[in-house]
Chain A
Amino acid sequence: EVQLVESGGGLVQPGGSLRLSCAGSGFTFSDHYMDWARQAPGKGLEWVGRIRNKANSYSKEYAASVKGRFSISRDDSQNSVYLQMNSLKTEDTAVYYCVRGGYGSGHYFSDCWGQGTLVTVSS
């Protein structure tokens, strides 16, 4: 069974930093792209970013709203992906989800989601 378990959420002041972790199991972690997505309270879903697999040089993509402030990394030996969040703003308050990239007919899509971890940015 595919499992993704996020950790590291909590309360942080504006301008602060936080690092989220996600541990994957039940699949060959190193084969997959991994995404982060978020959902502000009572709002819709927002894609945050992606890290590709080793075959694709671990290259990354980010949403404009987080580019330059957030950074995604992964450690395939630990079956884990990370989201380093710096210069946090109140509008970054959200549940953050770790998402596995599944491969369809040509592109990777978000196929399995973790349970999420809440990040609250407030003074």
Chain B
Amino acid sequence: DIQMTQSPSSLSASVGDRVTITCRASQGISNYLVWFQQKPGKAPKSLIYDASSLQSGVPSKFSGSGSGTDFTLTISSLQPEDFATYYCQQYNSYPLTFGGGTKVESK
């Protein structure tokens, strides 16, 4: 199975900050990576797919990059509605696997 390692597991940031979250795959997954945002008590919402393609309706402050084993999600200017937990998931091979999550909290 492909292991997905996210870092950091949590971070504290302020409104307006640029935030970067990293996801590393235990083996190459090409660009088959999706990023999700999840708020407490809610279902996950996809933000970025194919590592860098913005999902329809998602604001452009979110961006993704990477290929192979190393990927990043960037929020260019953090807003109050962006405090949430973020997950990556690889869909290169079965079983599909998630990272452990990154909780973005208010500083």
Contact = CB atoms under 8 A, between A and B. Distances in A.
Interface residues of B, number: 28
Interface string B36-63: 1010001111100110010100000000
B72 interface: no
Contact of B95 (A63, A102, A109, A115): A63
Contacts of B96: 35, 47, 50, 110
User: Secondary structure at chain A's binding surface: helix, strand, loop or mixed?
Assistant: strand
B92 interface: yes
Contacts of B100: 44
A112 B45 CA distance: 7
A104 B53 contact: yes
B31 interface: yes
Contacts of B64: none
Interface string A64-97: 1000000000000000000000000000000001
A44 B50 contact: no
A46 B91 CA distance: 13
A106 B97 contact: no
Interface in A103-123: 104-116
A110 B50 contact: no
Q: Which of B42, B44, B95 has the most CB of A within 10 A?
A: B95
Contact of A105 (B45, B50, B98, B99): B50
